Structure 1
Amino acid sequence: MSSNNSSRKVVTVDEQAFENVAEEAVDENGFPVVDETPEFEATVEEETQAKVDANHPDGIADTSEDRIHSVTLEQEERIHAREAELERISAQAELGTQDGREQRTRAVAAKRSAERRAEFQTRAASVDPRVDPDRDDPRTKLSQDELATVNTEANRLAEQLDGWSRAAISRHLADAVIGGTDMMSAVVKVFEELQTAPGQVIPIGKLEDVTRKEVSIEGQIEVLWESDSPAIAQVGLIADDSGKTKITIWEKSDAPWVAEGERVRIHGAARNWYEGRVSLAVTGWSTLHFPERGRWWA
C-alpha cells in the first residue's frame, strides 16, 4: 500500500550505493559502466549540523594565507604573538648598542656647549681679563671681614640690577677691592658698569656714558608730534626716572605704533648725536615690547 507521507526517509550510505547500481549506464557493447566513486548524499541530521557549523563564528572558513590551519583561533593568536615577540627580541639584539642614545646625545650636546662657552670666554678675556674662565676667583683673596662686606653689598646691588646674580656681582666687587679701590668706591663703580653692560636696560640718563652703538631702554612716551618727513613714522620724547631723550621711529622699521603715556621697552635702539645731545632711533633691527598692554585693568 502506497503512502503519500511527505516525510523524507533517512537513507544510509549502503542503500545509496545499491541505488546507484540500478542507475548504471552501459557502453556501446552493452557492458555496464562501473562507477567506483558513488555520489553520497548527506542525511537530514548532517545537513542541519552543517548549517549550524557554517554559521558559527569559529566555523567560518578563512582562506587567508596568514591563517594557520588545523588550530583554533586562540591557538593561532598565541602563535602570532610569540612570533612577534621573537622578532622584537631579535631587533633589540641587533640595535642594542643604541640603548641610551638619547641620553648620550644630550651629554655630548652639553659638553660641546660648555666647550663653546669656554672658548668664547677665553676670547673675551683678551679684552676683559675678569671673564677669563681659568682665572682664580678673586673672592678667595679677600679677608673674612672683606668677604662679608662684599657679600652684603652684592645682595643689595642684586635687588637693583636686573639680570645679574649675587655671585657675579660679588666677583666684580672683590676684583675692584683687590685692585686697591675702597669698598664704597667699588660699589659705585661696579653698579655703574653692570647697569650699562651690554644686554642691560640702560637708564635714559646714562645714555651719554655708553660707548656702543645700540642700547636697550625702557620708559614712558611723554609726547608725540607730527613729522615733516614721510620717512619718519613717529617722533617724540621718551623718559624714565633718570632723564628723557628724543626718539625717532623710522617708517621702514615697520615697528608697532606707540601712544602718549604708554610704557615701552626698546631693544636694539640706535644711539645718535644731534647738536651735542644724544637721541635714539627705532630701526629694522629694533624690537618694541609693551609691558602694560593687554592687562585687564588697562
Structure 2
Amino acid sequence: MSLFSRYRVLLPIASLTLLMAVTFYVQPRTLSYFGLNLLFNLAVPIALATIAQMLIIMVNDIDLGIGAFVSLTACVTATFLEQSPLMGTVMLVALIIAYALMGAMIHALALPAIVVTLGMSFVWGGLALFLLPSPGGASPTWLREIMTVKPPLIPMALVAACLIAGVTHWLIAHSGIGTVLRGIGGNAEAVRRAGWPLIRLKALAYGLAGLFGVLAGMTLVGLTTSADANIALRYTLLSIAGVILGGGEFIGGKVSPVGAVIGALTLALAASFLSFMRLSPDWQIGAQGAILIAVLAARLLFRRRDGARR
C-alpha cells in the first residue's frame, strides 16, 4: 500500500487537530461543551452537503448545483414541511427523484456533469426564490428539537458528524453497492462488462446525493429556524473543498467518507475561528482556501516521498 493511501484519513485528522489547537490557544474558553458547540454549530449541514458532493465525485462527476439544491430543500422545509408535513414530504421525495433523473440523463446523453449541474443550479435557485422571495418561514418543531438536543459530554454537532461518517463509511466501503459505485469511478467499462447497468448506477449515485442534500437543507433549517433562497449557496465550494481536504480525488473513485466529514468539520471550524479573529468574510474565504492549499501540498509531499522510495 502506498504512503498516501495509508495517510488518506490521517492528513485531514492532522489538519483538524492543528486548527483546533490554534483555536484553543487563541480562545481558551472554546475548550468547553458550550465552546465546542459554538465552534461546530453549522458543521452538520456542511458535512451532509460534502457527502452529497463526494457521491458525485466518486463516479467521476462534479456537482456545481448542490448549494442551490440545499437552499431549495431548506425553503421547502421552512414552508411546506412546516405548514403541511405530507405535502412537504412529497416535495422533498420528488426533489430526490429529480436528482436521480438528472444523473440518468447525464449518462444517457453523455453530457458533461459540470455543465448540467451548473444549469440546474439556476433551476433550483429559481424554485427557491418562488417559494421564499424574502427570508422567512419556520422550522418544524420536531426538527428544531432534534437539532438542539444536548447529549452529555459531546455536543450534538460532533455526535451527528460521527454518525454521518460511520453510516457513509459502511455504505461506501463495506456494502456491495458502494463497491460497485466506486468501481464506476475506477473503471466504468469493467463495471459494464460485469453486467451492471451504468445508467441505473449513475441514477442511484445522484439519488443518494440528492438524499444527503435534502438532509443538509433540513438540518440547516433546524439550526437557523428559518430559510432563505440563498442560504446555502456557499455549500457548493465548501463541499468540493471538504471532499478534497478529506483525501478524495476527482477521478478514479478514490474518496473517503470519514475524511470528507473531517474536511467539513475543518472548514466549519475555520469559519468559526476566523469569526473569533473578527476577519471580514472576504478574508475568511481566502483563509479557507489557504487551508485547502496547505493540505494539498502535504498530500503532494507524501506522494513524492512514496515515489522516491520506489
With normalisation by structure 2, the TM-score equals: 0.18
Q: More strand per residue: 1 or 2?
A: 1
With normalisation by structure 1, the TM-score equals: 0.18
Q: Which is greater in Rg?
A: 1
Higher relative contact order, chain-length normalized (CA < 8 Å, sep 6+): 2
Q: More helix per residue: 1 or 2?
A: 2
